[in-house]
């Protein structure tokens, strides 16, 4: 795209229901920001084509690689990603033009009979496909049987309804965008379960050379959301950890004594829950990247590197629950 006045802005999205909802949120915002016609272009990624849990992929970016390739080939003008799926290294020729207002980044529990986490009896089967969630659930030492579960949000919730598991832990943001928050039985306190870096945030990406389009998309950018995500991802990059590593991080922008400041907390936890390191730090609102690097260095000094080895499993159970694969993650 060479001009913001081009008749149609082609917005690329993965084909899952949640991805298309997220893409439509961005498309509507672009239309509202000016006289722009936006059409969605569905592009499947390696992650959509596989039934394996994301933790088993040997490469990063399995949910974004095809979208980025289409951007560089000029087949689309904009790509919308779940920010937590993006590799931390910049991609040559592309730039994050906007980070819209972030959804609540916390994890939630969806359990049978309306139970919260502490009400689940020992031995309850709790499903998750995330080594981070597995690690932190095990570290709580509640006697839960944390089992690997595959599939999109709808099928994970269906596993609870069918009795295949007693509960699942998923991102609150996905349920909010799908209109299914009424099924949440508990929003998990970050003191118990820290979310994934950049969870709940969207990344709106385009070619770095598209100056006019950058101007259009810049109208969607939310400063606070961009700053908190930058701090969390800077931490992840400094740890040299991928999106499936057992790393939790949450940054908040709040008013401090000398003006707005960023408060970042993070942990790294062994998948079996046997060990963990955690810490927090504060910096001014314009020091997001520095804050992430600082806290990551502190975690490494505390022994985080020993806990960041390859995840051997996504749960304690010998068999995963296959809820239909990853196609609509």
What amino acid positions are annotated as catalytic residues? 85
- Count Cβ atoms within 10 A of the Cβ of residue 54 and give its class: 0-12 exposed, 13-18 middle, 19 or more buried: buried
**Sheet containing 107-111: which strands, arranged edge to edge?**
186-187, 107-111, 167-171, 125-128, 145-150, 321-322
Answer yes or no: are the C-beta atoms of 146 and 318 closer than 8 Å.
no
Bridge partners, residue 202, by sequence: 82
Half-sphere exposure of 169 (CA within 13 A, CB side): 35
């Amino acid at each position: 795209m060479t001009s913001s006045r081009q008749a149609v802005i082609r917005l690329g999205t993965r084909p899952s229901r949640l991805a298309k909802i997220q893409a439509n949120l961005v498309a509507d915002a672009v239309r509202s920001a000016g006289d722009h016609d936006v059409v969605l272009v569905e592009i499947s990624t390696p992650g959509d084509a596989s039934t394996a849990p994301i933790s088993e992929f040997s490469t990063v970016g399995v949910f974004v690689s095809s979208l980025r390739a289409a951007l560089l080939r000029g087949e689309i003008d904009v790509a919308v990603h779940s920010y937590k799926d993006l590799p931390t290294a910049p991609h040559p020729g592309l730039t994050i033009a906007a980070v819209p207002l972030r959804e609540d980044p916390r994890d939630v529990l969806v359990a049978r009979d309306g139970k919260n986490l502490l009400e689940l009896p020992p031995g309850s089967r709790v499903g998750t496909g995330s080594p981070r969630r597995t690690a932190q659930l095990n570290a709580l030492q509640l006697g839960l049987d944390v089992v690997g579960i595959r599939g999109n949000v709808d099928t994970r919730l269906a596993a609870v309804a069918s009795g295949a598991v007693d509960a699942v832990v998923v991102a609150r943001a996905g349920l909010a965008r799908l209109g299914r928050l009424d099924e949440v039985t508990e929003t998990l306190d970050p003191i118990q379960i820290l979310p994934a870096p950049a969870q709940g945030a969207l990344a709106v990406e385009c070619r770095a050379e598209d100056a006019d389009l950058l101007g259009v998309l810049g109208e969607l950018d939310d400063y606070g959301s961009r700053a908190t995500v930058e701090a969390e991802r800077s931490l992840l990059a400094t740890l040299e950890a991928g999106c499936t590593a057992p790393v939790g991080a949450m940054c908040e922008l709040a008013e401090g004594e000398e003006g707005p400041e960023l408060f970042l907390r993070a942990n790294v936890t062994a998948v079996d829950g046997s060990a963990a390191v955690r810490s927090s730090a504060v910096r001014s609102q314009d020091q997001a990247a520095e804050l992430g690097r600082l806290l990551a260095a502190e975690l490494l000094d505390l022994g985080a590197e020993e806990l960041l080895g390859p995840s051997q499993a996504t749960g304690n159970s010998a068999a995963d629950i296959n809820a239909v694969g990853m196609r609509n993650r």
